[in-house]
Amino acid sequence: MQVETRRVVGEKLTELYLTVSPNPRQRLVQQAVDAMIAIRDALQTADAYMLCERYFATPEAMEVIRRFRRDTFIDVDDGIQPTYIAVEPGAYGQFAGAQLHAVVGPQKPVPLRCTQGAGGVAGRRLQNNGSTWVYINGMHSDVSQCEVEQAKRMFYCTGCFLRQAGASMRSVARTWLWLRDICDWYDGLNSTRNRFFQNEGLIDPQHGSVHLPASTGIGMYGANGAACTLDAIAMPGAEDQIELLEAGGDQESAFEYGSAFSRAAIAPMPAGPTLFVSGTAAIDRAGVTEHVGQMKAQIDDTIEHIRALLRQGNCRDDQVLTALVYCKSPEVEQMFRTRCFDLPWPHLTMIGDVCRPELLFEVEVTASPVYERSTGS
């Protein structure tokens, strides 16, 4: 079991990022037990409170993980369910790992639940010194509906939930979209999201202006079987402090080829400015897939695209707090692990489709220009 911890120390609050990778030589039950004990102990030792919590595993393994989490987290559980994402088996077996974001400070995050019964969605609100952060965990809709209908309802409920929490889509810096069979209906997802963003005032066709959060859209799905599941971070009252990089690094705007997200966002988080790099793949400035059919070249170009965005956000490799690495197949995962074994980013690798059939690899990172190993860990 490997737990990589990044501790960002701010003036008032401290943030904790945990990237938890199972031991691939262990059986699933031991992986789950060790992961839950390690997470619980890290939170208790730091006196930290959960903000966001995600687990990535096969559908068959998820019940084991849920059970051991329930039994182990009695003293740290605030009643808000994590986001459970179904993946294909990979290098770590059925359990790809866990990713957590927590905070240390005088104020506990307040649990939030949707009063309208929207998909059982829940989240948290953290307030400190006049600033507010709202987290949405695992927003989804009725799994019996078709993919596009699920997406319509999911986005609608996202807007309602944010307003209930005193926020809006304009205050959202980052979203994550977990999409089952993504390549079969990605165009439908894009058109549905575009209409929702227009209704929320993020896309203004009349004036040709956009205000798009950073995002990941990847071919995995909620463990309950939902075709689309959403996580998000909003900062109500700090909308003018969120810098959205519609085009960034060495890539142009994704909106030019129909995907409504910014390449990255720089946002005021509890311990200081944070760079959220969207899901990034081997796509050139014209929006064309690079190196079709070439694993090594797509991996190398994707890492360089990420590093270009890190440089633009004034972040070094060693200031990456956590990363998710998505590989189309076990062969791509093995190639990444072989070529990038010395990459200093805390990361999980997992198997899932990218938004184009010919894309083999995608990465997202969260980084902090104020993080230093001498003050963090």
Question: pLDDT by residue for the chain (377 residues), tens digit each?
Answer: 899 999 999 999 999 999 999 999 999 999 999 999 999 999 999 999 999 999 999 999 999 999 999 999 999 999 999 999 999 999 999 999 999 999 999 999 999 987 665 445 689 999 999 999 999 999 998 999 999 999 999 999 999 999 999 999 999 999 999 999 999 999 999 999 999 999 999 999 988 789 999 999 999 999 789 999 999 999 999 999 999 999 998 999 999 999 999 999 999 999 999 999 999 999 999 999 999 999 999 999 999 999 999 999 999 999 999 999 999 999 999 999 999 989 999 999 999 999 999 999 999 999 999 998 755 56
Question: Is the CA virtual torsion 287, 305, 217, 274 positive or negative?
Answer: negative
| Whether residue 148 is found in the same domain as residue 224 | yes
CATH number of the domain residue 360 falls in? 3.30.1330.40
Q: How far apart are CA 150 and CA 155, in angstroms?
A: 9
- Tokens linked to 263: 């390449």
Going by C-beta distance under 8 Å and a sequence separation of 6 or more, which residues neighbour residue 48?
14, 16, 42, 102, 103, 104
pLDDT of amino acid 158 = 95
pLDDT of amino acid 281 = 98
Strand partners, 365: 277, 323
| Whether residue 56 is found in the same domain as residue 71 | yes
**Is residue 246 domain-resident?**
no
pLDDT of amino acid 208 = 79
| Whether residue 19 is found in the same domain as residue 122 | no
Write down which residue in 107, 126, 151 finishes a domain.
Answer: 107
Q: How far apart are CA 268 and CA 171, in angstroms?
A: 11
**Is residue 35 domain-resident?**
yes
| Whether residue 139 is found in the same domain as residue 227 | yes
Q: How far apart are CA 7 and CA 371, in angstroms?
A: 8
Torsion of CA 346, 347, 348, 352, to 10 degrees: 170
**Is residue 253 domain-resident?**
no
| Whether residue 166 is found in the same domain as residue 236 | yes
> How many domains in the chain?
3
- pTM, rounded to two decimals: 0.96
Domain holding 215, by residue range, is 109-241
| Whether residue 126 is found in the same domain as residue 67 | no
| Whether residue 82 is found in the same domain as residue 133 | no
pLDDT of amino acid 206 = 86
With contact defined as beta carbons under 8 Å apart, do 234 and 242 qualify?
no
**Is residue 252 domain-resident?**
no
- Tokens linked to 121: 């969605």
**Residue 290 carries which DSSP code?**
S
**Is residue 287 domain-resident?**
yes
Q: How far apart are CA 112 and CA 307, in angstroms?
A: 36
Indicate the pairing of strand 214-218 with strand 172-179.
parallel
| Whether residue 94 is found in the same domain as residue 125 | no
| Whether residue 218 is found in the same domain as residue 284 | no
pLDDT of amino acid 223 = 78
**Is residue 329 domain-resident?**
yes
pLDDT of amino acid 116 = 60
**Is residue 100 domain-resident?**
yes
Length of the chain: 377
Q: Shortest CA distance to 277 belongs to which of 322, 328, 231?
A: 322
With contact defined as beta carbons under 8 Å apart, do 188 and 146 qualify?
no
| Whether residue 115 is found in the same domain as residue 44 | no
| Whether residue 113 is found in the same domain as residue 101 | no
Q: How far apart are CA 326 and CA 219, in angstroms?
A: 9
Question: Is the CA virtual torsion 217, 221, 224, 225 positive or negative?
Answer: positive
Write down which residue in 80, 107, 134 finishes a domain.
Answer: 107
The helix (H) or strand (E) run that includes residue 70 is helix 59-72
pLDDT of amino acid 376 = 56
- Tokens linked to 281: 């793949």
| Whether residue 226 is found in the same domain as residue 316 | no
Write down which residue in 64, 91, 107 finishes a domain.
Answer: 107
**Is residue 89 domain-resident?**
yes
